[in-house]
Chains A and B, each alone.
Chain A
């Protein structure tokens, strides 16, 4: 997928503006204190206002700044990003229930199947071997406590 850099900048700036508004709203509900005894809300309020201002400046710059600047196409590897993000999220969810070896074996299998040209059985074998080796190295040798799962 290709996105124009100018549109990308604009999208990032809009997200940052939304984030600034969210933080501003949160800060508004915190005790602000006084200038001599500043409360927990004052710094988030100042920072979110400044972030909103810079995000707005970025938006104005992209919309009206260099009208002749066309921007450059930026390629996005949406599929690899989505796969890695989904796989890591899956690990976060399953790790404590299924345990380290089962979860990370599946994770590695998915990664190897998707990104390498290994066949199903080879990828599965390699995933299990690497995960068991990692579990032995970190858990048994280095004493890092890894989750064993519910069984």
Chain B
């Protein structure tokens, strides 16, 4: 009953005319950045961050979250019609979505993607609504030792599931943690690696780093691929109506995609991308006609698109309940919340109920807005891609400059953004995963504080990390993961030796 009562209060916040407008702006801008290659949810949120400074916290978070889940919708449109994934989570949709479009079935593909996204997104919000409050209550019992173990577990999971090699990912994590030590020591106030300059007293500006690593590096990569746009397949309004067989064939993949997406949303790193690949693999495995996959199978669109959107709610759980962003985009949301004086963590729901429940209610509304608006506006979004990239990229760079400058009014941060842009470009070229680098920077400060507090409490006894149920579970999971990695490595070495022996 409590949930219903709080949800009513949340809807009272979300249905205020101004918040409806901010939600609409958020989801529309999210769709636009999802459509445009090189502008994902992270850059989209960072660019609109300055707009939120004069808003109250609830309105600001509603708008920025709208960008986050709106971007998940947007990516599918260009994947299906142009075979251009607007963002990484839509790569899988390109395979069968574009094949369907080539066969004149763009309409059903778009409708199934939109409906699947709506169902996945909505169920995911229900999960967020039901799981977050009890989890927050439980997490209030967690001490610094367990908190450190949990964050360490998150980083180790990231290194295991990363698209890059484990060694490279570990290197990126360590680099991120090390960069997080720059600035004043959070416990003693001792200046570390600042060389007496006040500019870096708070470390590197996180938004500048994020925009550089993800936004600028993406633009630099895209500058290399400036070419002619593929011909756009334009679906007519009549062709948008899916046939009964399409809906029937999509129902089970949508249901499975919802479960897969929601579960993978908890995994730190690139959960929304992985969930789409897992969903695609599951659908292909379960299909009676696996040979149709890659040639326009509707299940290959329905499952991954649903999974992609079903991660949005569960991805927000670690952020809102633990204050730990699971993916880089939610790290920007974390920054935005801190700017507005809202600290994510177990206390958030109790201290800022209007923000938490307002956000939940707005996500229901936002998902509905996306479903209603996206299909009629398909043509508008696709036409955005007609703007030549050589004109679009300089304007995006200009907005990045404004976005960064407005955060701190410090021109040095523009240089930081440019430097991290080049770093991100080089690292991505050599297959180093930059998501763990950014997330480690976010977690670094808190990990250090937790570790040192735990050691102070235990008087230097490392046994504290094995005391208490939470610590034991987290440390047990870390050991298990390490053993699994070791076993996988040994099997690999043995296989290689056998191959070379024959």
Q: For the complex, what is the distance from the CA of A34 to the CA of B452, rounded to whole Å?
A: 10
* CB-based contact B50/A88 at 8 Å: no
Of all chain A residues, the one with the shortest Cβ separation from B462 is A35
Most interface-central of A54, A80, A88, A144 (chain B CB within 10 A): A88
Contact with A along B405-419 (1 / 0, CB 8 A): 110010110110111
Q: How far is the CB of B397 from chain A (nearest CB, A)?
A: 7
* CB-based contact A115/B174 at 8 Å: no
Task: Give the residues in chain A near B132, CB-CB below 8 Å.
Answer: none
Of all chain B residues, the one with the shortest Cβ separation from A10 is B430
Contact with A along B49-71 (1 / 0, CB 8 A): 01101100000000000000000
* CB-based contact B429/A76 at 8 Å: yes
Q: Interface with A: B188-196, B250-258, B274-282, B291-299, which one?
A: B188-196
Tell me whether A124 is interfacial, beta carbon within 8 Å. Answer: no
Q: For the complex, what is the distance from the CA of A115 to the CA of B168, rounded to whole Å?
A: 33
* CB-based contact B418/A19 at 8 Å: no
Contact with A along B208-223 (1 / 0, CB 8 A): 0000000010011001
* CB-based contact A108/B402 at 8 Å: no
From B390, B398, B421, give the contact of A115 (CB < 8 A). B390
Q: Which secondary structure dominates chain B's binding surface? A: helix
Task: Give the residues in chain A near B492, CB-CB below 8 Å.
Answer: none
Q: For the complex, what is the distance from the CA of A77 to the CA of B428, rounded to whole Å?
A: 13
* CB-based contact A92/B411 at 8 Å: yes
With contacts A34-B460, A89-B418 taken as known, whether A112 is within 8 angstroms of B178 at the C-beta atoms is no
Task: Give the residues in chain B near A144, CB-CB below 8 Å.
Answer: 50, 53, 402, 406
Tell me whether B455 is interfacial, beta carbon within 8 Å. Answer: yes
* CB-based contact A96/B411 at 8 Å: yes
Tell me whether B399 is interfacial, beta carbon within 8 Å. Answer: yes
Task: Give the residues in chain B near A34, CB-CB below 8 Å.
Answer: 460
How many residues on A have C-beta within 8 angstroms of the other chain's C-beta atoms?
64
Task: Give the residues in chain B near A130, CB-CB below 8 Å.
Answer: 395, 398
* CB-based contact B178/A88 at 8 Å: no
Tell me whether B391 is interfacial, beta carbon within 8 Å. Answer: yes
Tell me whether A38 is interfacial, beta carbon within 8 Å. Answer: yes
Task: Give the residues in chain A near B219, CB-CB below 8 Å.
Answer: 84
* CB-based contact A112/B394 at 8 Å: yes
Contact with A along B152-184 (1 / 0, CB 8 A): 000000000000000110110011011001000
Tell me whether A81 is interfacial, beta carbon within 8 Å. Answer: yes
* CB-based contact A84/B220 at 8 Å: yes
Task: Give the residues in chain B near A35, CB-CB below 8 Å.
Answer: 455, 460
Most interface-central of A35, A74, A76, A130 (chain B CB within 10 A): A35
Tell me whether A47 is interfacial, beta carbon within 8 Å. Answer: yes
- Interface set, chain A 11-67, CB cutoff 8 A to B: 12-13, 16, 19-20, 23, 26, 30-31, 34-44, 47-48, 50-51, 54-55, 57-58, 61
From B220, B394, B415, B430, give the contact of A111 (CB < 8 A). B394
* CB-based contact A77/B432 at 8 Å: no
* CB-based contact B406/A74 at 8 Å: no
Q: For the complex, what is the distance from the CA of A111 to the CA of B390, rounded to whole Å?
A: 8
Tell me whether A138 is interfacial, beta carbon within 8 Å. Answer: yes
Q: How far is the CB of A61 from chain B (nearest CB, A)?
A: 7
Q: For the complex, what is the distance from the CA of A92 to the CA of B212, rounded to whole Å?
A: 14
Q: For the complex, what is the distance from the CA of A134 to the CA of B405, rounded to whole Å?
A: 14
* CB-based contact B414/A88 at 8 Å: yes
Tell me whether B427 is interfacial, beta carbon within 8 Å. Answer: yes
Task: Give the residues in chain B near A102, CB-CB below 8 Å.
Answer: none
* CB-based contact B223/A115 at 8 Å: yes
Q: For the complex, what is the distance from the CA of A58 to the CA of B174, rounded to whole Å?
A: 14
Contact with B along A97-115 (1 / 0, CB 8 A): 0000000100110011001
* CB-based contact A19/B399 at 8 Å: no
From A37, A43, A58, give the contact of B448 (CB < 8 A). A43
* CB-based contact A61/B190 at 8 Å: no
Tell me whether B385 is interfacial, beta carbon within 8 Å. Answer: no
Task: Give the residues in chain A near B388, CB-CB below 8 Å.
Answer: 116
Tell me whether B439 is interfacial, beta carbon within 8 Å. Answer: no
With contacts A74-B430, A92-B411, A104-B398 taken as known, whether A44 is within 8 angstroms of B171 at the C-beta atoms is no
Of all chain B residues, the one with the shortest Cβ separation from A134 is B398
Tell me whether B451 is interfacial, beta carbon within 8 Å. Answer: yes
Task: Give the residues in chain B near A81, CB-CB below 8 Å.
Answer: 220, 422, 425
* CB-based contact A12/B224 at 8 Å: no
Task: Give the residues in chain A near B398, CB-CB below 8 Å.
Answer: 104, 107-108, 130-131, 134
* CB-based contact A116/B391 at 8 Å: yes
Of all chain B residues, the one with the shortest Cβ separation from A43 is B448
Of all chain A residues, the one with the shortest Cβ separation from B400 is A88
* CB-based contact B460/A40 at 8 Å: no
* CB-based contact B178/A55 at 8 Å: no
Q: For the complex, what is the distance from the CA of A143 to the CA of B55, rounded to whole Å?
A: 12
Tell me whether B401 is interfacial, beta carbon within 8 Å. Answer: yes
Tell me whether A91 is interfacial, beta carbon within 8 Å. Answer: yes
* CB-based contact B421/A84 at 8 Å: yes
Apart from A16-B175, A44-B178, what 5 extra A-B contacts exist at CB < 8 Å? A8-B426, A40-B192, A80-B224, A85-B418, A91-B411
Interface residues of B (CB under 8 A from A): 50-51, 53-54, 167-168, 170-171, 174-175, 177-178, 181, 185, 187-188, 190, 192-193, 216, 219-220, 223-224, 226, 388, 390-391, 393-395, 397-399, 401-402, 405-406, 409, 411-412, 414-415, 417-419, 421-422, 425-427, 429-432, 448, 451-452, 455-456, 458-460
Please name the 9 residue pairs, one residue from A and one from B, whose CB atoms are nearest each other, closest first.
A36-B460, A35-B460, A111-B394, A88-B418, A40-B185, A92-B414, A40-B190, A116-B390, A92-B415
Question: 17 A-B residue contacts at CB 8 Å?
Answer: A9-B430, A16-B175, A23-B178, A35-B455, A35-B460, A37-B456, A43-B451, A74-B429, A84-B418, A88-B216, A88-B421, A91-B401, A111-B397, A116-B391, A145-B406, A145-B409, A147-B405
